[in-house]
Structure 1
Amino acid sequence: MQCKGAFMKTNVAPRCCPGRQRLAPAAIGHRGRDRLVVCASKVPVDQLLGVAKHAAQLGAEVVMAALDKPRTITRKEGTDIVTETDKASEAAVVGAIRAAFPDHAVLGEEGGVQGDVGSDYLWCVDPLDGTVNFAHGYSSFCVSVGVVRHATPVAGCVIEFLPAPGGPSAWSTRTFTGARNTGAFLDGKQIFVSRVKELRDAVVATELVYYPDMWPQLSALHRSFTGQCRGVRMSGAAAANLCHLAMGCIDSYWQYNLKPWDVAAGLIILEEAGGRATTGDGLAYSVFDRSLIATNDALYDKVLALTEPQTSAMLSEGVSLSPWCVPRGYRVRSGAQLD
């Protein structure tokens, strides 16, 4: 789904604003296993997380039921596709959220904006992240349900589908959860990012998507990471990449043109696992930003050293990296998550 129509330009501080400067390492998210204690939500985060888990489970049940059935695939824009399962999963997820929080706003990849955009809370729903993988029976794909207060994720759940023993039609799931100041968990067991310190020892993830105006920089970045890291992996699902980073099986992730429903749930899981996220040129990240680097602490400066020059080159050539996909009327206030 493209960001137009029901979306507006945000009042998040622009990239040139002094109030949105590059952050020193100690100022961004968590450091290792330490906790950054903030009051992130007026609704208790355990209540938000409970609804996120319930909604994601309902969506996952829809996906699981469809795995052994023929797919009905419809083209969206370009090479993007949607299936009837995306839509049915989103309906189940959104129904659960609206029943629990009728006064909150919901942003779904397929259905757009629903609910009260005057709310402090925006639920970001990707009912089937990795639709191409799902359509071809290729792992991994997932259901992602996250909630942000203004622009900051406060709770999220990602249910990932993986092949299971028993043949090509057998699938299992694993559930990632996180809520502000409570930790990140995989099937109930706490998880943390890796402690890899050098790029030569790192496995990194991205999705090599062709954007004509960004292609020179994206291909240069892919070349740099491939040449300097142990390996570059592409899962086909942004939420899965963030969760894989949170559990320590990859060490960094970089991507451009992600949307709020791609990152809201995975980002809070990553942060609670001790990870860090900024824009590609080192500015404080919000779910409405178009560039993302996510790493453990030890690799952050090394990754930024590769992404910052290419991100700056995009900006100097007029590529738009301003915030996008903000629902019209939704209040995005810098620092509001801290009150």
Structure 2
Amino acid sequence: MLCYQRSLLGRGVLKSRIRVGASGRATLRCNAAPVSKEATARADHVALSELLDVAVLAAEKGAAVVRESLDRPRSISFKGTTDLVTETDKASEEAVLAVLRRHFPRHALLGEEGGVSGDTNSTYLWCVDPLDGTTNFAHSYPAFAVSVGVVRGGTPVAGCVVEFTGGPHAWATRTFAAHKGRPTTCNGKPVRVSEVSEVRRSLMVTGFGYEHDEAWSANMELFREYTDVCQGVRRLGAAAVDLCHLSMGLVDAYWEYRLKPWDMAAGVIIAQEAGATVTTMDGRPFSVFERSMLATNSRLHQQMLEGTGPKTRDLLERGVDLSPWLVPPGYDSTQQP
């Protein structure tokens, strides 16, 4: 399937496509017209507080669109056999991107539904999941959110997640926000990861993608192994929600393969600024373009790596591709935050 968007931002004209093949593998394609280095430089010095303010504003705009669609008939289509997309996803993304373009017309944008737009020469890349947990939303299951994060290189520096809670006839929201060096808040109040230090005392969460490949099978093995030694492993189906739950101590560890930048960008900085440690599942430094993620309350991180590390290294030894992916063409994912 092709998701296509064209954006006209001053001199920066960029066309992008996300192609999802029969195997479920996603790739990005885009073509950008040149933007002057001077214009890009002027856009690449923004205070973290300003980035966060705009992330919150954008996420709240998207959440307002989602809120209007609650408990109403939905127009649903399919990206794959079971991977849903609704008109609400698209409308929410349009609302979010409108805010980002108004405030930062020279920044790069990466949306789950629309792909890449803006100036990929920018230091900043906004990663937008307009409705994380679409399947949950389609069934009115209260585990979905609007997620807006901004990264420099592959490192999240600010983000906001508006989580929907409660369920039919009792809907409510929680707004999580953080930027680098600023403690995470939930509805304006500071939150912190748990102090659980033993796996046997922990509650964990994971996720399974739509592609039933070798990484999926390895994760099923991890699911079984951890279920035997901890107090439970949950699977909500919304990465941003999982990371926010980690940030406030509801769960103690979260791992998953093949997440995408928009799944992680906001949630990771929210978890980190609440005290979480985030790496790849084999312990390497985290980037939103990596294909594995392990996030814990820090106390459990080394213990978790003893399980996720060998599984991940075994996948690599068998030739499974876990290299960085979905980097917008022209974007420098190696730059330091």
The 2-side partners of 1:216 and 1:61 are apart by 38
Structure 1: runs of 5 or more not aligned: 9-40
Contact 1:109/1:126 (8 A) holds in 2 = yes
Identity, % of aligned pairs?
A: 52
Q: Which has the higher contact order (CA 8 A, sep 6+)?
A: 1
Runs of 4+ aligned residues of structure 1 deviating over 4 Å after TM superposition are none
The 2-side partners of 1:294 and 1:82 are apart by 27
**Aligned amino acid, residue 298 of structure 1:** R
- Matched with 1:42 is 45
**Aligned amino acid, residue 284 of structure 2:** L
- Matched with 1:20 is none
Match of 1:264, SS state, is helix
The 2-side partners of 1:170 and 1:306 are apart by 39
The 2-side partners of 1:278 and 1:81 are apart by 29
The 1-side partners of 2:51 and 2:283 are apart by 29
The 1-side partners of 2:269 and 2:154 are apart by 12
Cα deviations across residues 236-290 of structure 1 (Å, max 9, x unaligned)? 1000000000000100000000000000000000110010011111000100000
The 1-side partners of 2:253 and 2:82 are apart by 27
The 1-side partners of 2:221 and 2:121 are apart by 42
Alignment of 1:157-236 (within 5 A): 157-163=160-166, 168-209=168-209, 211-236=212-237
Match of 1:114, SS state, is strand
CA-CA distance at 1:78 after TM superposition: 3.1
Are the structure 2 counterparts of residues 251 and 5 from structure 1 closer, same or farther at C-alpha, using a change threshold of 3 Å? closer
The 1-side partners of 2:73 and 2:60 are apart by 22
CA-CA distance at 1:4 after TM superposition: 1.7
Contact 1:281/1:307 (8 A) holds in 2 = yes
- Matched with 1:6 is 29
CA-CA distance at 1:77 after TM superposition: 2.0
Are the structure 2 counterparts of residues 104 and 222 from structure 1 closer, same or farther at C-alpha, using a change threshold of 3 Å? same
Task: Choose which of 135, 138, 144 in structure 2 pairs with 1:135.
Answer: 138
Match of 2:141, SS state, is coil
The 2-side partners of 1:332 and 1:98 are apart by 21
Q: Do structure 1's residue 122 and structure 2's residue 125 form an aligned pair?
A: yes
More displaced stretch, 98-107 vs 200-209: 200-209
Contact 2:215/2:257 (8 A) holds in 1 = no
| Structure 2 length-normalised TM | 0.87
Contact 2:279/2:294 (8 A) holds in 1 = yes
Contact 1:157/1:176 (8 A) holds in 2 = yes
Match of 2:214, SS state, is coil
- Matched with 1:276 is 277
**Aligned amino acid, residue 186 of structure 1:** C
Alignment of 1:235-314 (within 5 A): 235-314=236-315
Alignment of 1:80-91 (within 5 A): 80-91=83-94
**Aligned amino acid, residue 249 of structure 2:** G
Match of 1:6, SS state, is strand
CA-CA distance at 1:216 after TM superposition: 3.5
- Matched with 2:65 is 62
The 1-side partners of 2:297 and 2:320 are apart by 28
CA-CA distance at 1:7 after TM superposition: 6.5
Are the structure 2 counterparts of residues 7 and 258 from structure 1 closer, same or farther at C-alpha, using a change threshold of 3 Å? farther
Contact 2:58/2:95 (8 A) holds in 1 = yes
| Structure 1 length-normalised TM | 0.86
Q: Do structure 1's residue 95 and structure 2's residue 98 form an aligned pair?
A: yes
CA-CA distance at 1:323 after TM superposition: 0.3
Contact 1:140/1:235 (8 A) holds in 2 = yes
The 1-side partners of 2:177 and 2:147 are apart by 10
In the alignment of these two chains, the number of paired residues is 301
Aligned-pair Cα RMSD in Å: 1.4
Cα deviations across residues 51-99 of structure 1 (Å, max 9, x unaligned)? 0000000000000001132101001023111000000000000000000
- Matched with 1:12 is none
The 1-side partners of 2:92 and 2:106 are apart by 21
Contact 2:54/2:99 (8 A) holds in 1 = yes
The 1-side partners of 2:244 and 2:207 are apart by 15
Contact 1:192/1:247 (8 A) holds in 2 = yes
Contact 2:28/2:326 (8 A) holds in 1 = no
Match of 1:327, SS state, is coil
CA-CA distance at 1:333 after TM superposition: 1.8
- Matched with 1:109 is 112
CA-CA distance at 1:42 after TM superposition: 3.2
CA-CA distance at 1:170 after TM superposition: 3.3
